[in-house]
Structure 1
Amino acid sequence: MSPAELSVAFFLQMFVIIAACRATGWAMKRFFDQPQVIGEMIAGILLGPSLLGLLSPDIQHFLFPKETKSVLYVGAQLGVGLYMFLVGLGFRTDHFRVNARSAFAVSLSGMAAPFLVAVAMTPWLFGLNLFGPQVSTFQATLFMGAAISITAFPVLARIIQERGLARTPLGSLSLSAGAIDDVGAWTVLAIVLASFGGGPAVAIKAVAGGGLFALFMLTAGPHLLAPLARWAEREGRIVPPLLATIVALFMLSAWAMDTAGLHSVFGGFLLGVAMPRGLLSRELKNQLEPFTLALLVPMFFTFSGLNTQLTLVNSIALVGIALVILIGSILAKGAACWAAARLTGQDNPTALAVGALMNARGLMELIIINIGLQKGIIGPALFSMLVVMALVTTLMASPLFELVYGRRARASGALGSLNEDADEAAERPTVPAI
């Protein structure tokens, strides 16, 4: 496919992707009270081999030829990375400090319990030949632990944002626990990949590189980025050279986390957290959010959907195994996060809400299991079962959250809306003229 043909295919793809995501998102919100992000996730899968490819493979191949997947992949990574940068901009570090004990407890519990389930479940799955032929039981257990313990960080963030809870203690607690949890899961995945020939350097780079970057951004980052806030205050807005500087820093942060062996989303999120608050953060959100949500994030969901084939779970036996994985995953993750939140002083509605949100796996799960499939760690059948688990736990998140916390969420959202200007004014730094 020539560059000109690639360009023509790309524009048609983007029309289909945007139209499908908006229509499905509207339908899910209108008829099922699910957030827009759930509709976008489903739209991505419907455009892939699970539905469109099944009903009309010729049309699916025409819309999404193989040669265009690399373009969609790059756009997908840019979209989810920028989205997590925006999430970081709204992250309240004061809430994190207040909830640090709960965040670490929830995160560690949300990893320990799934790994115990993986230890119990993997030998059985291993005996059913659901893993690659070169995989050991230990490697399979580590991979299953990472897959079950992962949290749908972008989905969790989107639900919190759409419910108006991004600036509340619950929102900060959930985002903090989700971030810690996912870094741990990606680190375990790096260790598994290292055992497949990458060598110990892969795991060391992931742990040390990711930890040092996070430490640098959370300590020195705010001081080094302060001149950007002064620049914005002098101009009274974000001028193009300032925006270009920040976007360049985002690209560098995303590259750093990808190079470390984690994921670009953590680079974007940490940069957003370190950004000075006030005029700079508000204007960044106003300028970047519409484009990111309307164009780039749907590319992320569609690319992942193109790699998902739900039709592989096609027998009673496979359905039964998938149900065992699903139930074990829900009980391990949701129940453990709820218990940890309660034991660290959260009231029951808040703890239940944390458990409901942390239980969602979403597209982060799909990323991990796609890596596992490509590396030969898991077979196509287990891949499909884990896709089912990711879908069901993600679809559960919003209704469960509404059931256990809905009334309080609406009250918190309304209060947050009323107080947003006052909060941001309080956060706005005093910027001396230079």
Structure 2
Amino acid sequence: MTDGMWDSFVAAASGMLSAHGPAVPAAVKSYAPGDYSVHFFLQLAVIILACRIVGWLGQKLLAQPQVVGEMIAGVILGPSLIGLLWPDMQLALFPKETKNVLYAGAQLGVALYMFMVGLKLRLDHFQTKARSAAAVSASGVIAPFLIAAAITPFLLKVPGLFAEGISQANATLFMGACIALTAFPMLARIINERGLADSGLGTLSLTAGAFDDAASWCVLAIVLATFGAGSGVAVLAIGGGVLYVGFLVFFGRRLLAPLGRMVEQDGEMSASVLAITLFLFCASAFFMDAIGIHGIFGGFILGVFMPRGLFVEELKKKVEPIAVVLLLPMFFTYSGLNTRMDMVNSPTLLLIALGILAASILAKFGACYAAARAMGEDNRTALGIGALMNSRGLMELIIINIGLQKGIIGPTLFSMLVLMAIVTTMMASPLFELVYGRQARASGELGAVPGKLAARNA
């Protein structure tokens, strides 16, 4: 396709969309329900196509899981690339007025995905490596907050990175939470793909990652409370979360067990059982959202206490493909629409972005490696743990989206943190194979990575 043909296509597409898009100023444009649906279905078609293509290229060229390609595809569809090259078409395809619809779909996708992650979690793993996991987890939280305390005073001097009037304490806590996060869904997928599910390394990493993420979300609740929502928000979020988890610990398995028995008796999951399960998922996500934590933790926590066996297998067959292929890509695109790499447009800002990246790797990879060594793990295992814990992926995008939505950070810092999330996530699998996986497979400690499994969605 020649440049002239491409320009004609862009002009035609933009003109066709303008009947439903921002062809007139937002102040006078009125959106009817049909306008939203026109954009939504077209947006979804473009998102699915872009995510599958970029994900496939990532697998073939860079040996990266599908989720990394989808993270990059979201940035490509936003103002950082498509919006930079063809701004009219990008604005016509993703007008500001339709972003709330996309946001709702994105939250459904990410919460449902975390529900599926919770279904696969083995609680018995958390009892076998408690001491080492506690040390790695503590190091993976303390070091990031110390690094955040060191760099935040400088970041506050740069206009536009944080909200005006934010206190140094709040800014430090938010940066610490961002650096301390581990991509728990990504970590669980890598551990399964690399044959580590029953290994001490996999158990330790998964346990420490779960604790680190929980600590980061508790800190975020405190930041939201002291940033202007009132101290009651932190009390409600942390207290409500603890009570909800406690309720599920003591009563969840018993109350949910009949669902598993019904599936076992029928040999399949009926529409009624599926409806009850999805109702419970939505109610759990609503509760955690309502108390100020996030809907994804409602989905994840409920998934942990759901029946196992045939129930999980049936639910995976019915729900997981829709969650992963249709809904989750909306979250990556919504994040990409808020990412403005063109705002990192000076040597100073570029150095800051690289500094945040380097500090994040040092705080997470370095601290978790040192803690694992201190607890008696050999050098290769400690390096493998550090490589896995350094991945931030989906969880990072979630927390920085909340920070941007609540006005804690500006678009420039948001874009820097997106870059950090993508780079540390892309590092995880290759670095793990380099420092641990290849030698472990050569010595017979681990089996070969199944080809199809390694290329599956992350």
Q: TM-score, normalised by structure 1?
A: 0.90
Give yes or no for contact 1:91–1:166 (8 Å, CA) kept in 2. Answer: no
Equivalent residue of 2:64, what SS?
coil
* Superposition map of 1:322-401 within 5 A: 322-401=353-432
Give yes or no for contact 2:80–2:339 (8 Å, CA) kept in 1. Answer: yes
Aligned CA-pair RMSD: 2.2
Residues 1:209 and 1:48: Cα distance change in structure 2 (over 3 Å): same
Residues 1:380 and 1:234: Cα distance change in structure 2 (over 3 Å): closer
Distance of 1:388 and 1:90 partners within structure 2: 29
Pair 1:85-2:103 in alignment: no
Give yes or no for contact 1:168–1:412 (8 Å, CA) kept in 2. Answer: no
Opposite residue 113 of structure 1, the aligned amino acid is A
1:216 to 247, 261, 267: 247
Give yes or no for contact 1:163–1:409 (8 Å, CA) kept in 2. Answer: no
In structure 2, the partner of 1:148 is 179
In structure 2, the partner of 1:289 is 320
Distance of 1:46 and 1:387 partners within structure 2: 12
In structure 2, the partner of 1:429 is none
1:97 to 121, 124, 127: 127
Pair 1:62-2:89 in alignment: no
2:167 to 116, 125, 136: 136
1:114 to 136, 139, 144: 144
Equivalent residue of 2:391, what SS?
coil
| Structure 1 residue 165, shift from structure 2 partner | 4.1
In structure 2, the partner of 1:190 is 221
Q: How many residues are paired up?
A: 417
Range moving further from structure 2, 374-383 or 394-403? 374-383
Distance of 1:33 and 1:398 partners within structure 2: 9
Give yes or no for contact 2:193–2:449 (8 Å, CA) kept in 1. Answer: no
Opposite residue 370 of structure 1, the aligned amino acid is N
Range moving further from structure 2, 347-356 or 37-46? 347-356
Structure 2: stretches of 5+ with no match in the other structure: 1-30, 451-458
Pair 1:230-2:278 in alignment: no
* Superposition map of 1:242-261 within 5 A: 242-261=273-292
Distance of 1:306 and 1:383 partners within structure 2: 11
2:339 to 308, 330, 334: 308
Distance of 2:200 and 2:432 partners within structure 1: 15
Range moving further from structure 2, 216-225 or 341-350? 341-350
Opposite residue 118 of structure 1, the aligned amino acid is A
In structure 2, the partner of 1:206 is 237
| Structure 1 residue 169, shift from structure 2 partner | 4.4
Equivalent residue of 2:129, what SS?
helix
Distance of 1:346 and 1:90 partners within structure 2: 26
Give yes or no for contact 2:339–2:411 (8 Å, CA) kept in 1. Answer: no
Structure showing greater Rg? 2
| Structure 1 residue 177, shift from structure 2 partner | 2.1
Structure 1: stretches of 5+ with no match in the other structure: 418-434
| Structure 1 residue 365, shift from structure 2 partner | 2.1
| Structure 1 residue 122, shift from structure 2 partner | 1.4
Opposite residue 427 of structure 2, the aligned amino acid is M
Give yes or no for contact 2:102–2:330 (8 Å, CA) kept in 1. Answer: yes
Range moving further from structure 2, 375-384 or 258-267? 375-384
2:79 to 36, 39, 49: 49
| Structure 1 residue 167, shift from structure 2 partner | 5.4
Range moving further from structure 2, 214-223 or 133-142? 214-223
Opposite residue 363 of structure 1, the aligned amino acid is L
